[in-house]
């Protein structure tokens, strides 16, 4: 194994330990409280991220060992549900930078006052991400942000407000990724080994575990997905999914 790979392992391990320390110090507690209170009142946790941060939303919503009352908000739904036709925009940087898409996306879904929003953005600077946070707050929803404070504090917002995600969210969790995300220099000006996807996935699971444990301790059965690939999984999942309907599966209940 190349020495760079060994160094990358060390970079990742160092950051996972830092996240463990954050959790032990209570820096996740406010986010967990929002999630516990959301599920306790039959709310839905809406998860959003663009670019590689979309993987965080997929880690939060709709996976085995995760919570059933969760919904993955994705800009692709502007095309699948919202009537946009320029498919070439999908995955492009301009779409995630455009703050006008936030309201369009929000209005595609059935979002209740009992719900909450969790957003991942390494840069914390894109217009759609900040716009969605601001729209959710205007509707009375609490907003949790997962972002790189090192990176975001050094860049300019692409939102018309001039604010970055960590400046507007109710609760902020640092993903401990460095400025530029990549960790290892291979030659001057070029780096490899980005870590934000790995740390974000770890944060998603720490939040899920802490929330489930707190619900269990209060005597509430956590509404968790069972893998659809084991016997009885579909039956268990479908009962709760049907209860939330279009709030978590909008594609099945198109208006």
Structure confidence at residue 49 as a pLDDT band (50, 70, 90): very high
Question: Can you read off the two tokens belonging to residue 157?
Answer: 């917002």
Alpha-helical segments (H) within the chain: 3-24, 29-40, 54-60, 77-80, 93-97, 101-106, 127-138, 149-152, 165-168, 196-217, 233-244
Q: What is the pLDDT of residues 64-119, one digit of tens each?
A: 999 999 999 998 888 878 666 565 566 666 767 777 888 999 999 999 999 999 99
Question: Can you read off the two tokens belonging to residue 240?
Answer: 């709760």
Q: What domains, with CATH codes, occur in the chain? A: 3-250 (3.40.50.10490)
> In whole angstroms, what is the distance from residue 114 CA to residue 123 CA?
28
Q: What is the pLDDT of residues 199-238, one digit of tens each?
A: 999 999 999 999 999 999 999 888 999 998 999 889 999 9
Letter string b/e over residues 150-162, b meaning 16 or more CB atoms within 10 A of that residue's CB: bbbeeeebbbeee
Q: Which residue has the higher pLDDT, 83 or 194?
A: 194
């Amino acid at each position: 194994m190349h020495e760079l790979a060994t160094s990358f392992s060390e970079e990742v391990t160092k950051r996972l330990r830092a996240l463990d320390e954050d959790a032990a110090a209570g820096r996740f507690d406010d986010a967990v409280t929002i999630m516990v209170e959301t599920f306790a009142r039959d709310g839905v946790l809406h998860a959003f991220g663009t670019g590689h941060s979309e993987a965080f939303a997929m880690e939060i919503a709709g996976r085995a060992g995760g919570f059933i009352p969760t919904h993955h908000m994705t800009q692709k739904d502007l095309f699948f549900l919202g009537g946009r036709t320029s498919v070439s925009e999908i995955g492009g940087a301009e779409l995630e930078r455009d703050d006008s898409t936030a309201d369009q996306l929000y209005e595609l879904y059935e979002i209740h006052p009992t719900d909450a929003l969790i957003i991942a953005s390494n840069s914390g600077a894109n217009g759609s991400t900040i716009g969605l946070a601001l729209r959710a707050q205007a509707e009375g929803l609490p907003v949790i942000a997962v972002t790189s404070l090192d990176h975001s504090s050094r860049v300019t917002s692409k939102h018309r407000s001039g604010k970055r995600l960590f400046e507007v969210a109710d609760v902020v969790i640092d993903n401990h990724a460095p400025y530029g995300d990549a960790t290892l220099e291979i030659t001057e000006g070029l780096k490899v080994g980005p870590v934000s996807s790995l740390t974000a996935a770890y944060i998603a699971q720490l939040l899920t575990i802490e929330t489930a444990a707190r619900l269990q301790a209060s005597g509430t059965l956590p509404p968790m997905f069972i893998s659809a690939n084991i016997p009885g999984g579909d039956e268990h999942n479908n009962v709760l999914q049907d209860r939330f309907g279009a709030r978590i599966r909008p594609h099945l209940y198109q208006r």
